[in-house]
Structure 1
Amino acid sequence: MTFQVRILKELLFMFDTSRRASPFDLTMAHDAGFDAVIPYDNVTPRDAASLTQDAMFSRSPKAFKHTCIFINGRDVKKAEDTLAAVKKAMFPPFETNIVIDPSGAYTTAVALVAKVEDAMNAHGLGGLTGKKYAVFGTGPVGITVAEILTSLDCVVTVAEPNPMLNSDYLLQHEAFRGVLERHGAYLHGVSAPTQAEKTKILKEADVVFTVAARGVRIIEKDIIDKLKATKLLVDTNAVAPLGIEGLELNDYMKELAPGIYGIGALVIGDLKYKLQKEILKEAYETQTKKVYDYKYALVKAREMLQEAAEQTIAQKQK
């Protein structure tokens, strides 16, 4: 008599609140090892609750742990509302892993913050706290960077560089208002479409992030030349023209002007890619009931950077 061992397929259901799922995230999920990645577009919290329970009841409680929910979409507030609906839809013993990374914003924002922290510590510039930050861009990455930093009691100015939008736009921005309600003492929102407004913000900040749309130059060389104090400028735009003039994609702590250092977009992108891959891989390999959000991602990114530093030291000692 022969017995067949049935191996459960590892499934990932992607609930995207936008009108279409991102090929980037679909590819990342497949490469992490999931046997099937099933995307759903335009998902509302109500949809998510129903879809979650459909997925739950199609498997036994033990088998359901081989199912993962990935929440995505450009609107951070909608993604968080969807997360709340998915968590509420589950109940013991039907619980499983949930990943939330709206448009990659959480892993990108975490990569920015963690890489800056690592670079400043490595170059004797101190840690994250006690510094002033400026974030140019009010999309999901910019808002998440502000969320992370203000939760660490850092003072952050979020600047909208689009001349078609003013500071009133930020007050109507649900995700920004959410951060303002939670950490208002540390958060400021301004409109900064002109060089004079950008220069004023840069002069007051210690660390500057450019996280606006692809192919949009935010900081010109003549602005950088006017800066005097030690500063760190960090870009995420990998499409020409790049966000910071004079800063190339692979630059790491390049001195753009005396005391003004820069980190390029692909340095951040490399950490973001590895971080998202590790999170999806863990969600695939461990059948638990964990929520992989930006808080978890920050812990993971710090661990990854520490391990990389230790490996570098070990190699030098050989």
Structure 2
Amino acid sequence: MERPRILHMFTPGQQMSPFDINMAADAGYDMVPIYSEVTLDRVAGLTQDAIFSRGPRGVSRTGIFIGGRDVLLAADMVDKAVAAMVPPFVVSVFADPSGSYTTAAAMVACVEAGLRTLGKTLAGLKVVVIGGTGTVGRIAGVIAAQQGARVCLSTHFGESMARQAAAETGARFGVTLEGSSGGDRHAVQRSLAEADVLLATAAAGIQVVLPEDLTVARRLLVAADVNAVPPAGIAGIGMMDKLSLLPGTQALAIGPLAIGNVKYQTQHRLLKRMCESDKPVTYSFPDAFEVAREVLAEEAATP
């Protein structure tokens, strides 16, 4: 009898996201045990407990998922888990804290597809991320920067926090990010006046870009919003928008459900590939970005 497929789910928080638990089960895992309040110094011990009990054949049917709400901590936890493995006792690892890695990957891939219709890429463009110190905002900024964009993380918490988040996130992932204040309407409009691409990743149910703010966004090519709770994070963006014209601008609009569909497919594919792989794999946001691109390419090729 084949051994069950087990996905050990680690989170620094008090509970694992039900969304991720459902996704793991739907991807084919038979068991999804959850470990809450996992600190960085506990990762190595938990990882070794998970690998040494199953033997070289069992490890191919064993995985580790890392959740939580801290994108930097999640990256460190992946490194700790991988470093704790002793060949041939090596298992697969996938990090997606608060769904931020797959959501950010889907968001930037959708923007990239929109730019392609205009004959452009992210390289050299100014990307402004409103809500940029949050989980999705930081990683979306990193992915865009890796594609050659000039990225500015904006937050209502002020310029000091924005710069701190940009510095620590950029240093952790090897990119250059800027930080700016989004604490008042003048600050938001200053950022928008320079933006070629606008990403809204602020808290749900808060409109961070008002109609009057968009009047200064004369350079704007694409605007994307992940806020699925009314009102829209960016005024005028509809839930289902998929490269529609953003009212009051010449920019293309991408709404939260368009991004969410790509995010869901991306996470499902990565979990399923990990579940079915005969060899250990390690997935993070660069892998999610490649899969999101794959999803969009397939959609574009479908008549």
Bin for the TM-score computed over the shorter chain: over 0.9
Name stretches of at least 5 consecutive residues in structure 2 with no aligned partner.
none
Q: Percent identity of the aligned residues?
A: 36
1:13 is aligned, of 8, 26, 30, to 8
Whether the aligned pair in 2 keeps the contact of 1:143 and 1:176 (CA below 8 Å) is no
- 1:67 deviation in Å? 0.6
Whether the aligned pair in 1 keeps the contact of 2:114 and 2:222 (CA below 8 Å) is no
Aligned partner of 1:278 in structure 2 is 269
Aligned partner of 1:250 in structure 2 is 240
Cα 1:78–1:182, aligned 2, differ >3 Å: closer, same or farther?
Answer: closer
Partners of 1:16 and 1:287 in 2: CA distance: 25
Aligned length: 301
- 1:58 deviation in Å? 1.4
Partners of 1:258 and 1:46 in 2: CA distance: 50
Cα 1:158–1:69, aligned 2, differ >3 Å: closer, same or farther?
Answer: same
Whether the aligned pair in 2 keeps the contact of 1:237 and 1:243 (CA below 8 Å) is yes
TM-score normalised by the chain length of structure 1: 0.90
Deviations 1:262-316 (A, max 9, x none): 111111011001100110011111121111111111122212222222223xxxx
1:287 is aligned, of 269, 273, 278, to 278
SS of aligned partner of 2:32: strand
Partners of 2:141 and 2:249 in 1: CA distance: 27
Q: Counterpart amino acid of 1:129?
A: A
- 1:63 deviation in Å? 0.9
Partners of 1:169 and 1:227 in 2: CA distance: 24
Aligned partner of 2:128 in structure 1 is 134
**Does the alignment pair 1:42 with 2:33?**
no
TM-score normalised by the chain length of structure 2: 0.94
2:101 is aligned, of 98, 106, 109, to 106
Aligned partner of 2:199 in structure 1 is 209
SS of aligned partner of 1:85: helix
Q: Counterpart amino acid of 1:39?
A: I
SS of aligned partner of 2:16: coil
SS of aligned partner of 1:257: coil
Partners of 1:45 and 1:89 in 2: CA distance: 12
After TM superposition, the structure 1 stretch with the greater mean CA deviation from structure 2, 245-254 or 263-272, is: 245-254
Cα 1:182–1:296, aligned 2, differ >3 Å: closer, same or farther?
Answer: closer
Deviations 1:101-136 (A, max 9, x none): 111111011001111111211x22411112110001
The higher radius of gyration belongs to 1
**Does the alignment pair 1:192 with 2:186?**
no
Name stretches of at least 5 consecutive residues in structure 1 with no aligned partner.
1-5, 313-318
Q: Counterpart amino acid of 1:56?
A: I
Partners of 2:173 and 2:38 in 1: CA distance: 26
Whether the aligned pair in 2 keeps the contact of 1:45 and 1:86 (CA below 8 Å) is no
